[in-house]
Amino acid sequence: MKKESEKRATGTWMTTFNDLVTLLLTFFVLTLSLSNMNEAKVKEMSLSFGAAMGRLKEGAGSEFRIFEPFVSPMGRVGMTLERSKQKLAESLGAVGDFEVRIVEEGVQLTMDEKLLFESGRAEINPEGKAVLLRLAEHLRSVEGEIRVAGHTDDVPINTDRYPSNWELSVARATGVVRYLVSEGNIDPRRLSASGYADSRPRVMGTDERARAANRRVEIIIRMPG
């Protein structure tokens, strides 16, 4: 027969082992719950482990609840907004040859001057009108404010119609807005226009490459969220 001390040692070892296995089981179930698993399957697996450990008696046991990681309502809204931005950016990217990028407030399009206008003019050319019509088809199906901003390079202009680059940049922005309303059937309450002349350059420099990059129209779709 085993001595009393040997029995106590054996019991201590088993208790420690059972605690270790229980902790491993808890970690395993927690890991599974964080992934996209079927709840019934995970519950069945947990009950099977519990029975093997002797934690259940005659098939009866307490209810098992799968841990659901907490995601705040604001977090869910944020994720939904980012997915909406990505989806809109992808659809607009196929409309024309211009830059599309996701910004904090929504999606921004940057159209170079040559896509829309002749140098020193604010009348939209035929190619630009076609692009704006295709763009309007997408903008009608999404919510949010649409801001149109005109930008010029740093070369001064001084004509009867445009005494400075400020008037030219504003005229280009308002021309795009008018076309989106009259021909693109965009709700005018969603649109606004502004001109910044050369005060917000896209590229620093006075060479032709930098100036060409700075002559542009930006359209920002501010998505609600």
Quote the pLDDT of residue 38.
Answer: 53
Nearest to 200 by CA among 220, 213, 214: 214
| Torsion-angle region of 185 (φ positive above 0: left; ψ -120 to 50: alpha; else: beta) | left
Q: What is the pLDDT of the chain when averaged over all its residues? A: 82
Which residues, including other chains, have CB under 8 Å from residue 188's CB and lie 6 or more apart?
Answer: 177, 181
Query: 15 with 22: CB under 8 angstroms?
Result: no
Please give the Cα distance from 131 to 4 (Å, whole number): 91
**What b/e string do you get for 143-172 counting C-beta neighbours within 10 Å, with b at 16 or more?**
ebebbbbbbbbeeebeeeebeebbbbbbbb
Please give the Cα distance from 198 to 211 (Å, whole number): 9
Structure tokens at 170: 């504003």
**pLDDT digits 0-9 by tens, 132-167:** 999 999 999 899 999 999 999 999 999 999 999 999
Please give the Cα distance from 66 to 110 (Å, whole number): 48
**pLDDT digits 0-9 by tens, 50-94:** 555 554 444 444 444 444 444 445 455 567 889 999 999 999 999
